[in-house]
Amino acid sequence: MNRISKKTEDTKEIAKTFLARLKFRKAGATMVGLSGELGTGKTTFVQFLARELGVKRKVASPTFVIMKRYAIKNSKYKNLFHLDAYRLKNEKELFHLGWEEVLSKKENLVFIEWPENVIKALPKKYYKIKITHTKEGHRKFEIKNA
């Protein structure tokens, strides 16, 4: 699925549509990789998803803390994990954060920015979202199912 976002409201609608199409896994966490250059809107996308899931806390970029967890109520998911692998040297650094436990629980919904930096630590099947700038200054979302 490819979508163009011309304004913030479009990104919000893309996030809402994506969440509605997200399939709950029978085993293990549901994983979404967000790729794109700096400033393409990866964190903004997660912020809209979090609001749609009922997260009340402010969702900020996890660049410096690497991983943040947000509790989700009234959803099939119980936790939203937001990770940023931009500063990680390799996937081994994820394992110090309890990565295996996060991935093992089906009630976890995991979004990781810069997944290409830790590709060996990712499950074989996960959703892939690539966000790029268009020539017109808009954002293009390329979404591939797990």
pLDDT at position 8, please? 92
CB 4 within 8 Å of CB 137: no
pLDDT of 88 higher than 80: yes
pLDDT of 62 higher than 90: no
SS3 sequence of the chain? CEEEECCHHHHHHHHHHHHHHCCCCCCCCEEEEEECCCCCCHHHHHHHHHHHCCCCCCCCCCCCCCEEEEECCCCCCCEEEEEECCCCCCCHHHHCCCHHHHHHCCCEEEEEECHHHHHHHCCCCCEEEEEEECCCCCEEEEEECC
Q: What is the pTM of this model?
A: 0.93
pLDDT at position 144, please? 95
pLDDT at position 100, please? 95
pLDDT by residue (tens digit) across 5-36? 999 999 999 999 999 999 888 889 999 999 99
Domains contained in the chain, CATH given: 2-144 (3.40.50.300)
Between CA 109 and CA 75, with CA 106 as vertex, the angle to 5 degrees is 60
